[in-house]
Amino acid sequence: MNKRMIRFLLFTALSVLLGSGAYAAESLSWKELSLEQQSVLKRLEKRWDKIPVERQLKILQGVDRWKKMTPEQRERARKKFQRWKEKSPEERARLRKRFEQYKKLTPEQRKRLHKRWKWFKQLPPEKKKLLREKWKKLTPEQRYHFRHNKKWEQRRKLHDHIHESPGHDYRKNNQ
């Protein structure tokens, strides 16, 4: 990274921390990007100088992540981005809202959600379909009670504890 970019990033970080709006006027020009960054971002060249500085920084962070990816990771990212572009604006808005909700979860809630997602992903397609159909048939009130039922929460914690115990073989107890 060149000295100009480092100064820019430091100035921006300090401005954000201090709550100053002064950083918004100082954007990074296209010519100040490295050749590698320009190569990755070539489709943004004509409008780069019009992009708000906050967005420029996020884009540059993405470029850094991209450079660290393996070819397989890059291909997965391309496919995910393609699926994202194919979604309707309404679906994208819904997913953004859900992501904002996810960010508000506690680490414990995120861990539990991730564990449930992994469990769901390993289910056979017909079982997934059945569960989705059952969920869709629930009223919003039933869904709320399902999510917030303390007895259900206690059973889930007990289930998680049992299945995380060393040496526990779930199959032995269910045959």
Summarised one tens digit per residue, pLDDT across range 43-54 is 999 999 899 999
Q: Which pLDDT score, from 0 to 100, does residue 101 have?
A: 92
The mean pLDDT value of the chain amounts to 79
Q: Is the Cβ–Cβ distance between 26 and 12 less than 8 Å?
A: yes
Q: Does pTM top 0.75 for this prediction?
A: no
Per residue in 102-153, pLDDT (tens digit) is 999 999 989 988 988 898 899 899 988 988 898 888 888 888 877 776 666 6
Q: Is pLDDT of 167 > 90?
A: no
Q: Residue 49: CB partners within 8 Å, gap ≥ 6? A: 27, 29, 30
Whose tokens are 């070819």? That residue is 71
Q: Which pLDDT score, from 0 to 100, does residue 159 have?
A: 61
Q: What is the largest CA-CA distance in the chain?
A: 68
Q: Which pLDDT score, from 0 to 100, does residue 68 have?
A: 92
Q: Is pLDDT of 171 > 50?
A: no
3-state DSSP assignment of residue 25: helix
> Percent of the chain scored above 70 by pLDDT?
70
Q: Which pLDDT score, from 0 to 100, does residue 28 have?
A: 83
pLDDT band at 5 (very low <50, low <70, confident <90, very high): low
Answer with the residue of higher pLDDT: 22 or 84: 84
Per residue in 8-25, pLDDT (tens digit) is 555 555 445 444 444 444
Residue ranges of alpha helices (H) inside the chain are: 3-18, 35-40, 53-68, 71-86, 89-103, 107-121, 125-137, 140-148, 150-164, 170-173
Q: Which pLDDT score, from 0 to 100, does residue 13 have?
A: 53
Q: Which pLDDT score, from 0 to 100, does residue 24 have?
A: 45
Q: Is the Cβ–Cβ distance between 109 and 157 less than 8 Å?
A: no
Q: Which pLDDT score, from 0 to 100, does residue 98 have?
A: 92
Q: Is pLDDT of 164 > 90?
A: no
d(CA 157, CA 151) in angstroms, rounded, equals 10
Task: Compute CA distances 123 → 37, 51, 107, 126, 159, whole Å.
Answer: 42, 44, 25, 8, 18
Domain ranges within the chain, ordered by starting residue: 3-80, 97-173
